[in-house]
A and B are shown apart, each in its own frame.
Chain A
Amino acid sequence: MKRFFVPLVLLAGAMFVYAPFMILGAPYESTMGLVQKIFYFHAPVAMTMFLAAFVCGIASALYLFRRNKEADHIAVAAAEITVVLGSIVLVTGPLWARKAWGIWWDWEPRLVSTLVMWLIFVAYLLLRRYGGPGSERLGAGVAIFGMVNVPFVYWSVNLWRTLHPKTSVVPTLPPGLRGPFWFCVLGFIVVFVLILHVRTELERRRAAVEELYLALEE
């Protein structure tokens, strides 16, 4: 990963600089007009949040069943990224909804399930921060629970009557809207990989500090 880090940083930077021009060049959506352009950041961030939640859940399962310390470091990093991306989704969504639906928030399944998922990962981070010894295993359980939530959040728009657009929107995107959208998805995935790498490194160093403290006390 170290060998690819600098090229990936350059790629992510270039993509983030170019993305606004692609988005501005994309055609307007017929019913929502300009406000629909929030979609190009809102939906890719949500998809990356799902990816982060899966990474956290799988890493937590590895830690829980195989006691893999490295997996635990990845899980903490991915959980934090899930919360950051979730915050972006929960802020950009209402900004879009205000114009498209006329309201900031509605207690409908997609919005509520996303909020619940975000709260589960906030709970995970609080548990890891203040849970004391043994919180790693409890946290791993919470993270798996959070990961299991992802399919419910995704399918909620198809299972229940919601204001939110259905999952059929992305596969049926017309070419003019499809290009900028998938470009942004790729950009956010690259950013996720980079942040995950750096944040995991932070967790490794924290573990090294703890081990050194213990060694010095002995």
Chain B
Amino acid sequence: MNVRGMFLVGFLLLLGGSTYAQQPAAPPKLAPDPAARPDQQPQVRTPTSTGAAQEGFVPVEQLAKPEDRIPAPALVGTAYAFVWVALFAYLWSIWRRLSTVERELQALNRRAGTGSRSS
């Protein structure tokens, strides 16, 4: 696969990922069913209900309030795109420099070969 192809695959992955990330999550079930027993009622995991350390990250399956979820797809998309672009650009620059050095090396070897034959 050439460099352009790899860029295309990376771009498509990013596009797919950001689209998936923007999909709204299922609304949290906050209102308990009055008919259900207390032990059958859905439990919403809130930061205060987990036993994680205070200074650590606290995951939630469903946020208690939808407005608590900070909409930041543009920032996340930009960050991921930058990582991909930076890595591919760097790999491309190494590949280009390697090709240049290889050509130079071959030219010098030819010169050295010619020089040794003439002397």
Taking Cβ atoms with an 8 Å cutoff, the residues of A that contact B are 17, 20, 24, 26-39, 41-42, 45, 84, 87-88, 91-92, 95-96, 98-99, 165-166, 168-169, 172-174, 176-177, 191, 195, 198-199, 201-202, 205-206, 208-209, 212-213, 215-216
Instruction: For the complex, count residues of B whose C-beta is within 8 A of A.
Output: 49
Contacts of A166 in B (CB 8 A): 55
The 7 closest A-B pairs by CB, nearest first: A172-B56, A35-B72, A27-B59, A30-B47, A33-B69, A212-B108, A20-B17
Task: Tell me the residues in window 67-111 of chain B with beta carbons closer than 8 Å to chain A beta carbons.
Answer: 68-73, 75-76, 78-80, 82-83, 86-87, 90-91, 94, 97-98, 101-102, 104-105, 108-109, 111
29 A-B residue pairs with CB within 8 Å: A20-B16, A26-B59, A28-B60, A30-B63, A33-B70, A34-B72, A37-B76, A38-B79, A45-B83, A88-B83, A88-B86, A92-B82, A98-B75, A99-B72, A168-B53, A168-B56, A169-B55, A172-B55, A173-B57, A174-B58, A176-B59, A177-B57, A201-B98, A202-B98, A205-B101, A205-B102, A205-B105, A209-B105, A209-B108
Distance between Cα atoms of A174 and B49 in the complex (Å): 14
B104 to chain A, nearest CB (A): 5
Known: A34-B72, A166-B55. A209 touches B104 (CB 8 A): yes
7 extra interchain contacts, Cβ-Cβ under 8 A, other than A24-B17, A30-B60, A168-B55? A30-B68, A165-B57, A174-B59, A202-B98, A208-B105, A209-B108, A216-B112
- The residue on A at minimum CB distance from B20 is A24
A17 to chain B, nearest CB (A): 7
- The residue on B at minimum CB distance from A211 is B108
Distance between Cα atoms of A42 and B86 in the complex (Å): 13
Distance between Cα atoms of A202 and B87 in the complex (Å): 17
Distance between Cα atoms of A88 and B97 in the complex (Å): 22
Interface of B is mostly: helix
One of B69, B79, B98, B111 near A96 (C-beta < 8 A): B79
Interface of A is mostly: helix
